[in-house]
A and B are shown apart, each in its own frame.
Chain A
Amino acid sequence: MSRPVLETKGLTIRFGGHVAVDSVSAAFHAGTLTAIVGPNGAGKTTYFNLISGQLSATAGSVLIDGVEVTNFGAARRARSGIGRAFQLTNLFPNLTVHENVRLAVQARAGGGANIFSRWDSRRDWIKQADRFIEAANLTDKHATAAMALPHGDKRKLEVAIMMALEPHVFMFDEPTAGMSVDDVPVILDLIKKLKAGGDKTILLVEHKMEVVKSLADRILVLHNGRLVADGDPAKVIGSTVVQAAYLGIPAGRRRPGEAPHG
């Protein structure tokens, strides 16, 4: 198999005595959508933070395209191709939808340090930003301040910002959390389109099992910070360790009809 786009080796972080992520090793290849599941507090978001650089690891390493980035800060990892959509919406509240996306386009183009030209004179950036805004179904709100958007639109904007970065690795952290039934398909379509491109590396933290089943090529299960299962969705979902992890009781004693959830 070709070299993984992203790899973690023995990735560990300790907060005092608590080991939030415990020696997680996994490799992620282009063209694969990997879902990361596990009960609340399993360390999914912490694992994401270790990959995208918001937290630095206590031990272990992160490699992007075979290059060790463990000591890089979040900004440098973003420039190395890590894109992140956050679980708790993380926008520029007083800037418009367009400006939010445009900042990502500009970050990708690397033109942030220009103090002489006018922000509104770069037609190419404007066009690109508009394209991502349209893909997220936000065109009619492009001039609205991010803080004034309803929750569902904020989530869409969160995803649009990451898309506009055009990263090598897309990290979605519960992209549909708290969204209305109408809004969920917009996000899922975006992820599906991304996946259909066939060459993107996508990581997805998601609680909704039907979403995971429909999208994932592979599932990682985290439990108490440890990687307890890794493999084909159908097999992993049915496995006893996963059911034990989710329900905290040995598999088989689960009452009929109860679905594993977070």
Chain B
Amino acid sequence: MIKTLLSGDLPRSRLLSGLLVLILATLAAAPLLFPGAQAINTAAKICVFVVLVASYDLLLGYTGIVSFAHTMFYGLGGYGVGLALYSWGPTWASALAGLTIALFAGLALAFLIGLFSLRVRAIFFAMVTLAVASAFAILAAQLSSFTGGEDGRSFRIPELLRADALIELPFVGPITGRTITYYVVFLSALASFLGALRIVNSPFGRVLQAIRENDFRAEALGYRTIFYRTSANCLAAGMAVFAGALNSLWFRYTGPDTTLSFAIMLDILLMVVIGGMGTMYGAVIGATLFIVAQNYLQKLMGAAAKSTEALPLLPHLLHPDRWLLWLGVLFVLSVYFFPTGIVGKLRQG
């Protein structure tokens, strides 16, 4: 049963299995465990990023394609659902319509980018994605009457999902719409992740790996590499659109800084690399670690700075404003010591 759900691709490390079960259990029980808004926001963000990072791993880790346009697709999903709810009212129909439009737009864009530039050298593809993504981000910021410009758009979500909605469930008691929204996000993320795991462990997924390993040989076996690369690009884009939609649903806001910025693209890259490229489980580990660090490292450092107040220099280094510096140090160390990522390291035993 578990083997079928995981498509036969088991974690293959006790520690890794333990970590994954811990993360899954914590995320599943998050609304019960943490009453605070920050904790539940962090949990939801982890769910969204697991999907986003897993889709990027499909591209980078499995197919060997370096793309910088992943946030564009993420943004398409975010804006698609966000603007639909904003303009057409907070109904399920408009959310679904927004998602559908964003999915089609994302797939079309991914298909075009793939078809025109995946034939040529990898560096060229990376540059094209960078250019298209930048253009898209500028467009989103400039079309302010439509997208809300730099400020983005806040919107209302369907009634059932709002914080003031109270639903009586048998055996459980009353739960708020916020909790329902969380479980929508959590279960969608879980399903998407298992879907991605199935894709990479399908015959198609093995061809992607073959292309990553030796595209020349894959071609000589009769696999049209352009078809497989473009398909992978479209699948990853579709998943990123979906992640963006989940993000909008949870935060009830969409804007360039939360979905389209290059900083997020870098975060995604870091999460894939820290977790372990080409492992899928690396997406879970990488996203969880990174987002927890992003949200709690500052607090931790604040406390550390306070406790070392008496010492010279140290409190300055530990000042919460320096959290990015320490994150950078952690990143350099992790890449140096775990070149295959945390999952790769754990699997080595």
Listed in ascending order, the chain A residues whose CB lies under 8 Å from chain B are 52, 54, 73-76, 78-79, 84, 86, 90-95, 99, 102-104, 106-108, 111-122, 161, 165
Say whether A114 contacts B202, CB under 8 Å. yes
Q: Size band of the B side of the interface?
A: 20 to 34
B interface, by DSSP: helix, strand, loop or mixed?
Answer: helix
Question: Which segment of B19-27, B204-212, B244-252, B328-336 sits at the interface?
Answer: B204-212
Which of chain A's residues have a CB closer than 8 A to the CB of B218? Answer: 92, 103
Find out whether the CB atom of B7 lies under 8 angstroms from the CB atom of A118. Answer: yes
In whole Å, how far is A120's beta carbon from the nearest beta carbon of chain B?
5
* B216 at interface by CB-CB < 8 Å: yes
Q: In the complex, what distance in Å separates the CA atom of A76 from the CA atom of B221? A: 9
Contacts of B216 in A (CB 8 A): 54, 90
Q: How far, in Å, is A157 (CB) from chain B's closest CB?
A: 11
Please name all residues of chain A whose beta carbon is closer than 8 Å to the beta carbon of B8 when the two chains form the complex: 118-121
Known: A54-B220, A74-B219, A112-B223. Contact between A103 and B204, CB under 8 A? no
How far is A103 from B215 in the complex, measured between Cα atoms in Å?
Answer: 13
Question: Does A117 lie within 8 Å of B221, measured CB to CB?
Answer: no
The reply to whether B217 and A112 contact each other, CB–CB distance below 8 Å, is: no
In contact, B204 and A114 (Cβ under 8 angstroms): yes
B178 contacts partner chain A, Cβ-Cβ < 8 Å? no
Identify A93's interface contact among B213, B222, B225, B235, CB under 8 A.
Answer: B213
Task: Tell yes or no: B12 within 8 A of A by CB.
Answer: no
Shortest Cβ distance from residue B245 to the other chain A in the assembled complex, whole angstroms: 21
Taking a contact as CB atoms closer than 8 A, the residue among B198, B204, B205, B223 that contacts A75 in the complex is B223
Say whether B109 faces chain A, with CB atoms less than 8 Å apart. no
- With known contacts A52-B220, A79-B222, A112–B207 Cβ distance under 8 A: yes
Q: Across the interface, which residues of A come within 8 angstroms of B202, CB to CB?
A: 114-119
CB of B201 within 8 A of chain A?
Answer: yes
For A106, list chain B residues within 8 Å (CB): 203, 206-207
Residue of B nearest to A111 (CB): B203
A195 to B207: give the CA distance in the assembly, Å: 31
Residues B222 and A116 in contact, CB atoms below 8 Å apart: no
Could you tell me the distance between the alpha carbons of A80 and B23 in the complex, rounded to whole angstroms?
Answer: 49
Complex contacts, B205 vs chain A, CB 8 Å: 115, 119
Q: Identify 10 new A-B residue pairs, CB closer than 8 A, beyond the known A104-B221, A118-B198.
A: A74-B220, A78-B220, A90-B216, A92-B209, A95-B206, A112-B223, A114-B203, A115-B235, A116-B198, A121-B8
Q: Is the CB of A103 within 8 A of B201?
A: no
Interface: B338 (CB within 8 A): no
Contact residues, B56-99 vs A (CB, 8 A): none
Give min CB distance, B44 to chain A, whole Å. Answer: 28
Which residue of chain B has the shortest Cβ distance to A85 in the bound complex? Answer: B220
B199 interfacial by beta-carbon distance below 8 Å: yes
Do A103 and B210 form a contact, CB below 8 Å, given A115-B204, A165-B222? yes
29 of the cross-chain contacts (CB-CB < 8 Å) are A54-B220, A73-B219, A74-B219, A75-B222, A75-B224, A78-B219, A84-B220, A92-B214, A93-B214, A94-B209, A95-B206, A99-B206, A103-B206, A103-B210, A103-B221, A107-B222, A111-B203, A112-B203, A112-B207, A112-B223, A113-B203, A116-B198, A116-B202, A118-B201, A119-B8, A119-B201, A119-B202, A120-B8, A165-B222
In the bound assembly, the distance between CA atoms of A99 and B219 in angstroms comes to: 16
Q: Are A103 and B207 in contact (CB under 8 A)?
A: yes
Contact B204 A90 (CB under 8 A): no
CB of B222 within 8 A of CB of A91, answer no
Question: Which residues of the partner chain A approach B7 to less than 8 Å between Cβ atoms?
Answer: 118
Q: Which of A92, A103, A107, A119 has the most C-beta atoms of chain B within 10 angstroms of its own C-beta? A: A119
Contacts of A95 in B (CB 8 A): 206, 209-210, 213
Q: Report yes or no: B206 in contact with A91, Cβ–Cβ below 8 A.
A: no
Query: How many angstroms between the C-alpha atoms of A220 and B7 in the bound complex?
Result: 51
